[in-house]
Structure 1
Amino acid sequence: MRKTQNRPLSEYHLGLLKGKLARLRAQLLEPGPGAGGGGGAGFDVSKSGDARIALVGFPSVGKSTFLSKVTKTRSEVASYAFTTLTAIPGVLEYGGAEIQLLDLPGIIEGAAEGKGRGRQVISAAKTSDMILMVLDATKKAEQRALLEAELEAVGIRLNREPPNIYLKVKKAGGMKITFQSPPKRMDEKMVFNILRDYKILNCEVLVRDENATVDDLIDVIMKDHRKYIKCLYVYNKIDSVSLDFLDKLAREPLTVVMSCELDLGIQDVVDRCWQELKLIRIYTKRKGIEPDFSEALIVRSNSTIEDVCDRIHRTLKDTFKYALVWGASARHVPQRVGLSHTVADEDVVYIVSAWKA
């Protein structure tokens, strides 16, 4: 593929090669039933808390030190590579929420092919709500590029939304391919050839984005092997770089800088994690009793009263009558609302249901 010149006549060839490569890589990394392998000893950590953050990086960049400083977990720390050999969980308490941090063994180049237990490490990273990519500030360019390439190769898409392409596989009727606007990077023939290569002969395709690429189409076809995850880039060892370089680094998007050695910027990383996870705190109230502000219900930003009901009990919305809301989302205090009302951070909610003991 690298030797193929980027000419219009070779685009179909490259598109088909990319499709075959993605399919073979998925078979390699996620073998079918009976193939064995699994997550591997020490990697099957049950998900707990209100969110999970995976610490990903090369060996000896400071992941274990960071975990030890922000949680009560003591992960083994040393100045040599491969100190951490299994996934080590810890709990970060923040604003009434419990966030699970997962310290994963250092990734090495070639992890996507299974080197250095890379397959298990990356599989564990796929279960997270956010990835904290811990990098050595003295090796910025090469480390970040290599890690992004390894994660990309196994279907982890960092800070991206799923492609705006609709695909519905059918049992009969052939292919129906529609473009909402004339595409710039692929055409009907290319879409047809790639789908046929995946043995998808009966389907409906709607490409809504004129800038959609072959890679986007492959991601939609391989959606069961793709994970779209928020990533925060954390540069450690900032005490070893110049102030000018540090200032430039800190201004990059989705980037935080710290020094575990000097205890600098660690709280900034924690605060930014909370901000990027987009979690909000909801306080519940019972009739005749003041709300308990020491114990919050944690839900995602843009959650509704229905989501709050689900967090309390999965059957509560079945007997729901109405809710009273105090806080930023209420137009007046209290406001009587239904299940579709969107709550805001630190709202107080009183739910009235038809359930009787």
Structure 2
Amino acid sequence: MDIIQEIKRLEEEIKKTPYNKATEHHIGRLKAKLARLKEELEKQRQKKSKAPAFSLRKEGDASVFLVGFPSVGKSTLLNALTNAKSEVGDYDFTTLKPVPGMLEYKGAKIQIVDVPGLIEGASKGKGRGREVLSFIRNADLIVIVVDVFTLHNIDIIKRELYEAGIRLNQKPPEVVIKKRERGGIKITSTVPLSLDESTIVEVLKENRIHNAEVIIREDLTLDRLIDAIMGNRVYIPSITVVNKIDLYQPELPEDVIPISAERGINLDRLKEEIYRKLDFIRIYLKPPGGKPDFDEPLIMRRGCTVADVCKKLHRGMLESFRYAKVWGKSVKYQGQRVGLDHVLEDEDILTIYA
């Protein structure tokens, strides 16, 4: 039995097996093996693939990717949000390569990218799906775009992204796995766990981890445990929009934004949500001995460090960095001296000494 047949067999067995406490151990082992085989298959395919990977130079303060099936209006939306000139057509696969544009909003420069259309089965390679999905992993924010006539595609797109290791609106599992040369598997948890320890051990061993110290800080599901072990997942915030509401207005969940890219309906709401989801903070730069520049703050993402600011300002600044001083909410006292790993907060004032 080859690897593809084995993957199909495991998927069928998982579907047929009811999940309960008695079957948790068995399903855990099956899912762990399935994840490992899928990763091995993907590595084999990457070696054999001759198709050139999509590439794009990231610009601005963040990159937002428009993801959806062909002919749902992604190109029209890109043109409406930015200064781009993406080709618009009423036929499938108008966009054959990533097309960028720049949205300037509240002082932030946000790169919006029209991504080539996905189709069902993209994660298995249909329609250059692997190349497209690999490219999407670079996004800072994903905007899923469907139209009023294809609402069912929302679940399909999310499933294709999930199969490609893209986790939407999730944080990475709070799990630390420290591999050791001997001593078996030692599990320490700071919260009560729903999973049996024997199941966790079996899943680790299925992924060839036989000696490790495992620290768990959340009540894991099987899937979250496997994600933590695999270590190749990306965690990206997302927004879902439904286009062409000028043609038909279906009932939609509250977290979905109805728009008309062609008529400009609700685009201001979408821009605001993009800005909010990107979780920007403003850093005011102060030259040594000078005054802070409150007119043009540096736009950064929440959780950024002094090192991230140095990289954004100039590549050579990291090499010549001596120390920095910070005034604001991130320090214990104003003008505190900090290093590269100091995490900044919104409206901090920063002076870099290089």
- Provide TM-score, normalisation by structure 2: 0.83
Structure 1 portions without partners, runs of 5+: none
Q: Hey, what does 2:92 align to over in structure 1?
A: 81
1:187 matched to 2:196: yes
State which of 152, 157, 166 in structure 2 corresponds to 1:147: 157
Q: Hey, what does 2:11 align to over in structure 1?
A: none
Structure 2 portions without partners, runs of 5+: 1-13
Q: Hey, what does 1:198 align to over in structure 2?
A: 207
1:180 to 1:305, Cα distance in 2 relative to 1, 3 A: closer
Determine the C-alpha separation between the residues in 1 that align with 2:31 and 2:241: 31
Determine the C-alpha separation between the residues in 1 that align with 2:309 and 2:282: 10
Determine the C-alpha separation between the residues in 1 that align with 2:41 and 2:87: 32
Determine the C-alpha separation between the residues in 2 that align with 1:220 and 1:165: 6
What is the DSSP-based 3-state SS (H/G/I as helix, E as strand, rest coil) of the residue aligned with 1:19? helix
1:281 matched to 2:282: yes
Determine the C-alpha separation between the residues in 2 that align with 1:208 and 1:62: 42
Determine the C-alpha separation between the residues in 2 that align with 1:28 and 1:96: 44
Kindly indicate whether the alpha-carbon contact (under 8 Å) linking 2:103 and 2:109 is maintained by their aligned counterparts in 1. Answer: yes
Decide which moves more: 313-322 or 199-208: 313-322
Q: Hey, what does 1:173 align to over in structure 2?
A: 183
State which of 57, 61, 68 in structure 2 corresponds to 1:57: 68
Determine the C-alpha separation between the residues in 2 that align with 1:164 and 1:321: 30
Q: How many residues align?
A: 335
1:37 matched to 2:49: yes
Q: Hey, what does 1:16 align to over in structure 2?
A: 29
What is the DSSP-based 3-state SS (H/G/I as helix, E as strand, rest coil) of the residue aligned with 1:122? helix
1:266 matched to 2:274: no
1:29 to 1:295, Cα distance in 2 relative to 1, 3 A: farther
Kindly indicate whether the alpha-carbon contact (under 8 Å) linking 1:65 and 1:260 is maintained by their aligned counterparts in 2. Answer: yes
- Superposed CA deviations along residues 194-241 of structure 1, whole A, max 9, x for unmatched, are 21111111111233333x121111101101x20011011111111233
Residue identity in the other structure for 2:173 = P
Residue identity in the other structure for 1:322 = K
Kindly indicate whether the alpha-carbon contact (under 8 Å) linking 1:29 and 1:154 is maintained by their aligned counterparts in 2. Answer: no
Residue identity in the other structure for 1:72 = N
1:207 matched to 2:209: no
1:292 to 1:195, Cα distance in 2 relative to 1, 3 A: closer
**CA root-mean-square deviation:** 2.9
Kindly indicate whether the alpha-carbon contact (under 8 Å) linking 1:237 and 1:258 is maintained by their aligned counterparts in 2. Answer: yes
Q: Hey, what does 1:298 align to over in structure 2?
A: 299
What is the DSSP-based 3-state SS (H/G/I as helix, E as strand, rest coil) of the residue aligned with 2:170? coil
1:337 to 1:306, Cα distance in 2 relative to 1, 3 A: farther
Determine the C-alpha separation between the residues in 1 that align with 2:62 and 2:36: 31
Q: Hey, what does 1:91 align to over in structure 2?
A: 102
Kindly indicate whether the alpha-carbon contact (under 8 Å) linking 1:305 and 1:338 is maintained by their aligned counterparts in 2. Answer: no
Determine the C-alpha separation between the residues in 1 that align with 2:209 and 2:319: 42
Kindly indicate whether the alpha-carbon contact (under 8 Å) linking 2:285 and 2:298 is maintained by their aligned counterparts in 1. Answer: yes
Residue identity in the other structure for 1:216 = R
State which of 318, 322, 326 in structure 2 corresponds to 1:319: 322
1:117 is displaced (CA, Å) by 0.9
1:266 to 1:20, Cα distance in 2 relative to 1, 3 A: same
Kindly indicate whether the alpha-carbon contact (under 8 Å) linking 1:309 and 1:316 is maintained by their aligned counterparts in 2. Answer: no
Q: Hey, what does 1:160 align to over in structure 2?
A: 170
Q: How many percent of aligned residue pairs carry the same amino acid?
A: 39
